[in-house]
Amino acid sequence: MPGVMGTAPGHRRERRGSFHVRTGVAGKRVPPSTVLAYCIGAIALLASAGRTRAPKEFCLGSFWCISLTPVAYKPQGVKYELHTLHVDAKAVTDGDTITVYVNMANHPESGDVSQEVHKAATEWTKARVAKNCQRADALQKIILDGGYRQVPNTRGEQVLAKKYRIRLRGIDAPESLMPYGKEAKEELVRLVQGKTLKISIYDSDRYGRLVGDVDCNGVSVQEHMLKKGLAWHYTAYDHRMELSKWENQARVSRTGLWALPDPEKPWEWRKKKRSGTV
């Protein structure tokens, strides 16, 4: 390429922040076939960057380098992510359902909060400091009616938050009255209590719960519950092979509910309960 290939050794010229040419020997020209091969490789690397967290630079041989901005991997089907405040033990309903609060300042729908609610939250804090209980109660009603509430963050400061019920995607834990129902809930409490969670939201169910994958400090909560033998892979709604693999590991080792001679599936137990045969 005229004006580029003849640069001094080691000199790098950026091309719009994405492509640049690096020469190893002054004045050396790259054969057209080599340029074509580098271009094809560049396209492949750019395509792969959409699937992985790319490094800052890819180099093809000693001549062509591609600078790429790192991109976060987003699984197919994820609508958005929620980053929760610390989870309270009382927030765990059973082995597959958690109630969480999300700080609206870090929420994907933060722009949807009305000015009335924002103002009420600010004034509520002032009313509490002034110990004006009547004023604080009136402002709190405005906040609650708007679908929000004031919740303490990690520093003990009251922040405007929204409440969500989360259904762990792809697993079904024993109901509380079933064998290992109590153990499943206790294990989930032990795992998430006092922690902040990252939740990838895929959908909502007929009960108004958000359905998502839950990450607790780098640990997949679904994987944890399946490997502990405290949940079934809910194959009617999720066909991921890794969930079947984790469940099978617990089956083979007879961990948790798999120690039972014939463990009952939660969805079949619920069906019997609805028909009055439990």
85-97: pLDDT as tens digits? 999 999 999 999 9
Domain span at residue 22 reads 12-67
Query: Is the per-residue pLDDT at 105 higher than 60?
Result: yes
Domain membership of residue 103 (yes or no) is yes
- Token output for 17: 């922040």
Which residue in 231, 107, 115 sits closest to 164, CA to CA?
107
The more confidently predicted of residues 79 and 64 is 79
Q: Specify the pLDDT at position 53.
A: 44
Q: Specify the pLDDT at position 153.
A: 83
Active site residue 167: yes
Q: Specify the pLDDT at position 61.
A: 54
- Lowest mean pLDDT segment, chosen from 25-39, 69-83, 122-136, 221-235: 25-39
User: Same domain for 61 and 177?
Assistant: no
Active site residue 53: no
The more confidently predicted of residues 191 and 40 is 191
User: Same domain for 100 and 27?
Assistant: no
- Lowest mean pLDDT segment, chosen from 29-38, 104-113, 228-237, 265-274: 29-38
The more confidently predicted of residues 63 and 180 is 180
Rounded Cα distance, 232 and 187, in Å: 15
- 136, 128 Cβ separation under 8 angstroms: yes
Beta strand 158-168 with 210-216 is parallel
The pLDDT tens digits for 244-272 are 999 999 999 999 999 999 999 999 999 99
- Token output for 273: 């309960």
The pLDDT tens digits for 139-166 are 999 999 988 988 888 788 889 999 999 9
User: Same domain for 158 and 251?
Assistant: yes
pLDDT band at residue 11 under the 50/70/90 scheme: very low
Mean pLDDT of 194-217: 95
Query: Is the per-residue pLDDT at 60 higher than 70?
Result: no
Question: Whole-number mean pLDDT of the chain?
Answer: 82
Rounded Cα distance, 226 and 221, in Å: 9
**206-224: b (≥16 Cβ within 10 Å) or e:** eeebbbbbbbbeeebbbbb
CATH number, domain containing residue 236: 2.40.50.90
Rounded Cα distance, 94 and 46, in Å: 44
| Active-site option among 169, 187, 209, 247 | 209
pTM of this structure: 0.71
Which residue in 118, 115, 121, 116 sits closest to 140, CA to CA?
121
Angle at 264 between CA 259 and CA 266, to 5 degrees: 120
| Active-site option among 169, 175, 187, 247 | 175
Active site residue 209: yes
User: Same domain for 45 and 152?
Assistant: no
Number of domains in the chain: 2
| Active-site option among 53, 109, 128, 167 | 167
User: Same domain for 119 and 28?
Assistant: no
Mean pLDDT of 53-59: 47
User: Same domain for 49 and 101?
Assistant: no
Angle at 258 between CA 254 and CA 261, to 5 degrees: 105
User: Same domain for 59 and 126?
Assistant: no
